Structure 1
Amino acid sequence: MDRAQKQELVDNLKRVFSETQVVVVTQNSGLTVAQVTELRRQMRAAGASFKVAKNRLVSLALEGTPYASLKPFFKGPTGIAYANDPVAAAKVAVEFAKKNEKFVVIGGAMGETVLNAEGVKALATLPSLDELRGKIIGLLNAPATKVAGVVQAPAGQLARVLNAYATKG
């Protein structure tokens, strides 16, 4: 990698760190290319991304961003997972770590709030943004369905009474 490519990578990472909602730092010693590819595929499916970069370049990119306090996490073979959904990256990283012992979640951050490994695991247990939206829509639709049923019930009863009188007489 020449100097221009390194500068471009640092600029891209700096843009990611300034725009993203959550960053999860992982240690991935001994993962095969197939395993990393599978992890990236799972991240993309959840709306997140995973990147492996040199620690020095990541440290340069962290300067001046809300995630600058993550610098101590970047020792050894590390990777970063990030997403705009505060739960997506953490959820995929924690699930992948459960299945693969060579992949370890070591920490992360939401904005300026630094999370240890347990904090990231707790974040992963929360429902995602899409799940919350679905629950809210379900709660909003339930009363409307009940109101429609109650409004239709008297008309149905009146129609049955009139039908009974018509068939009787």
Structure 2
Amino acid sequence: MTREEKANVIQDLTTQLGDSSTIYLADISGLDAVTTSDLRRACFKADIRLAVVKNTLLAKAMEASDREFGELPEVLKGNTSLMFSEVGNAPAKLIKNFRKKSDRPLLKGAFVEEAVYIGDENLDALVSIKSKEEMIGEIIGLLQSPAKNVISGLKSGGGKLAGILKTLSEK
């Protein structure tokens, strides 16, 4: 690979790192061709972009990026695959489901909405992260709940209150 090609790859990776809010680093070494194809198909169906990159080029792209990746450059050893997604927990769910059939991919690290996770032991925590849409839905539900309770209380209490006032006025 020439210097120009390397510079182009670094520039492309820097752009992808800047555009994505969710980046996972995984180790898929040891997977045979069929299993790797199955993983790529599963990624495509889940709207996750999977790319195998050279560690040195990725490290340089992380340096060139305006984001702070914390300890992620330190895990760039061995084979590294990048997973880009718009949903924070989608790659984690895919890895967890895929590992039911195989012992790989292993999670090296993740960058999710400015938070950095290092190591495979964080996979369960990443699976439980809620997406932005799920959080907005929960917040709206919580905000609507008290208003609904007040309205239903006024409706049901209105009849009771009128009955009490009528009884009191008759006495």
TM-score (norm 2): 0.69
Amino acid at match of 1:125: S
What is the CA-CA distance between 1:139 and the residue it aligns to? 1.0
Instruction: Tell me the equivalent position of 2:73.
Output: 71
More helix by share: 1
CA distance in 2, matches of 1:32, 1:8: 26
Amino acid at match of 1:37: R
Contact 1:107–1:120 (CA under 8 A) maintained in structure 2:
no
- Unaligned ranges ≥5, structure 1: 162-169
CA distance in 2, matches of 1:157, 1:7: 77
Change (3 A) 1:101 1:77: same
Contact 1:51–1:81 (CA under 8 A) maintained in structure 2:
yes
CA distance in 2, matches of 1:33, 1:3: 31
Q: Structure 1 stretches (4+) deviating beyond 4 angstroms?
A: 1-6, 154-161
What is the CA-CA distance between 1:79 and the residue it aligns to? 0.7
What's the Cα RMSD here?
Answer: 3.2
- Unaligned ranges ≥5, structure 2: 165-171
What is the CA-CA distance between 1:2 and the residue it aligns to? 6.8
Give 1:41's match in structure 2, choosing from 39, 45, 55: 45
Deviations 1:13-33 (A, max 9, x none): 112323433432111122332
Instruction: Tell me the equivalent position of 2:137.
Output: 134
What is the CA-CA distance between 1:158 and the residue it aligns to? 7.8
Change (3 A) 1:157 1:69: closer
